[in-house]
Chain A
Amino acid sequence: MTEPILTFANVSKSFKEICALEEINFSINQGEFLALIGPSGCGKSTVLRLASGLEKQTTGEIDLLTKKVGYVFQDANLMPWRTVRKNIGLLAELEKFDREKIKKKTDEVLKLVGLEEFANHYPIALSGGMKMRASLARSLVLDPELFLFDEPFGALDLITRGRLNVELMQLYTSKKFTSLFVTHSVEEALFLSSRVFVFSGRPGKIKGEFKVPFDYPRDPKIRYSSVFAKLSGKVGKILEDYS
């Protein structure tokens, strides 16, 4: 068993008087895909903000073993004045990579997410799904060891969402980055992750943990299997009880 890449020990977080998260305990192992699911406003996103260091916890300990953290938001958040290529190179620029290296990495990642043809387009010309791919690519350039996903596909239509789930699955299978994935969708959580934590409404607490018994790489068809449906029902039940 490898050492956990990220550990939360008794972590609580309050904003002014309001308690957002209470006594959160979990750890993620290297290469694991963990999903956090819960009702709106339960503090799931706060978990990611704490993990990345954007916020400080009120009490408790957070242990993060890597500096290479990728963060993907619900909105693609591309810079509209930069072409797709320049957007994807943004973080590499911030990390002061030299120009050759930025170009090489950007080309590589453009291909990986299938946006080569759109490299010189501006975001205004892209569909929602393509914008999200570009957003993902922007983080991939830095080869993160831990990926924090804050409902990355939440704003997309169902068809695009399903397709991007499959694409993310393939990426994960080939790159094996550790992932902490926040979502509202039970289906998405079960399809992608190996473990699911269910959060209660505010203050956010972990109310249930499920192991997802499918091996990677996963076939998109598992989403229609009876095992999947049963598990989905169990998660949904807890989710309903505590929201």
Chain B
Amino acid sequence: MLRSYLYRLIPPILVLLFVVGIHYYITYGVLEPTRRFLLPPPHSIIYEGFFVPKHRDEIFRALLLTTKVSIIGLGIACLIGFFTAILMSQAKWLERSLYPWAVFTQTVPILALVPIIGFWFGFNITARIIVVVIISIFPIIINTLTGLLGASRDLHDLLTLHKASRWTRATKLMIPYAMPDLFTGLRTSAGLAIIGSIVGDFFFGRGSPGLGMLLKVYGSRLRTEELLSATIVACLLGVFVFWIFSYIGRRMVGHWSEAWSS
């Protein structure tokens, strides 16, 4: 047990050490002292971001806000996406009517929408949640739909032979069949939700600051240490939600789904 954990942990840690080594080399070996602010050494990034109380609190509060916006947005995207997919699975014409609009949420330049969303909904948390929903809903719809339509013709025939109603077909066959795909979609969308919440925040630039606004402020003031520590936090948040949703997926369907069993 412990051995297998070590086997899993050691390789990525070696990669980390390698990257940190290169980082130090660039800071002290490549950059002249006057240009060192471009890439401060790792220890001062960690120190400035996580040990100076003012910065630490700033980043922590921003992290909380970003997390909150992402989770609420993702929850809403999940609900809307799931029911949209179910609707689309019920008739070919519904699928054909809605599919292009689902693709639209993926291809719309979110930067162009941000000002409009701001005008309509103000620059508070609601507007940011809307950005998150738009950015993260597509993988949920598409993955869930693929799953809903994926059950074999034979199983559908079997239900037909026993005169299963539309409801029975959906609840006993299509929805359970789609669960692994739903979780795959959720895992992808979780990462997008965080990007969405940071992007929304970055461009609204008003209201209480999330990680996006913090990144903008630090960037404009050339505070590279804090900028990089906030970036690290944003990445870690992404990794964390990915891990959480992987865990939830394994717990929910890992005992029967080949795709999710480890």
* Contact A81-B256, Cβ < 8 Å, known A73-B154, A75-B154: yes
Main secondary structure of the interface of B (DSSP, over half): helix
Whether B160 lies near A54 (C-beta < 8 A) is yes
Partner of B162 from the list A73, A77, A95 (CB cut-off 8 Å) is: A95
* Contact A77-B155, Cβ < 8 Å, known A52-B161, A91-B162, A95-B162: yes
Query: How far apart sit A122 and B154, CA to CA, in the bound complex (Å)?
Result: 19
Query: How far apart sit A71 and B155, CA to CA, in the bound complex (Å)?
Result: 11
Partner of A94 from the list B152, B164, B261 (CB cut-off 8 Å) is: B164
A80 at interface, CB cutoff 8 A: yes
Interface residues of B in 154-170 (CB under 8 A from A): 154-155, 157-164, 168
Residues on the B chain within 8 Å of A123, using CB: 256
A-contact bits for B239-262, CB 8 A (1 contact / 0 none): 000000000000001011110010
Partner of B152 from the list A52, A75, A124 (CB cut-off 8 Å) is: A75
B179 at interface, CB cutoff 8 A: yes
Residues on the A chain within 8 Å of B172, using CB: 90, 93-94
* Contact A77-B154, Cβ < 8 Å, known A122-B255, A123-B256, A124-B261: yes
Closest to A69 in B: B161
Whether B256 lies near A122 (C-beta < 8 A) is yes
A79 at interface, CB cutoff 8 A: yes
B173 at interface, CB cutoff 8 A: yes
Query: How far apart sit A104 and B214, CA to CA, in the bound complex (Å)?
Result: 65
Closest to A80 in B: B256
Chain A interface size band reads 10 to 19
Query: How far apart sit A71 and B160, CA to CA, in the bound complex (Å)?
Result: 11
Whether A124 lies near B256 (C-beta < 8 A) is yes
Query: How far apart sit A53 and B158, CA to CA, in the bound complex (Å)?
Result: 11
Residues on the A chain within 8 Å of B258, using CB: 80, 124
Whether A54 lies near B257 (C-beta < 8 A) is no
Residues on the B chain within 8 Å of A94, using CB: 159, 162-164, 168, 172
B122 at interface, CB cutoff 8 A: no
Partner of A54 from the list B155, B157, B173, B176 (CB cut-off 8 Å) is: B157
Query: How far apart sit A75 and B151, CA to CA, in the bound complex (Å)?
Result: 13
Closest to B253 in A: A81
Whether B152 lies near A80 (C-beta < 8 A) is no
Residues on the A chain within 8 Å of B253, using CB: 81
Query: How far apart sit A159 and B155, CA to CA, in the bound complex (Å)?
Result: 27
User: Interface centre among B155, B161, B168, B177, by most A CB within 10 Å?
Assistant: B161
Residues on the A chain within 8 Å of B256, using CB: 80-81, 122-124
The 7 closest A-B pairs by CB, nearest first: A94-B162, A73-B154, A122-B256, A77-B154, A80-B256, A81-B176, A81-B256
**B residues whose Cβ falls under 8 Å from a Cβ of A:** 152, 154-155, 157-164, 168, 172-173, 176-177, 179, 253, 255-258, 261
16 example contacts (A-B, Cβ-Cβ < 8 A) are as follows A71-B157, A77-B155, A79-B173, A81-B176, A81-B179, A81-B256, A90-B172, A91-B162, A93-B172, A94-B162, A94-B172, A122-B256, A123-B256, A124-B256, A124-B257, A124-B261
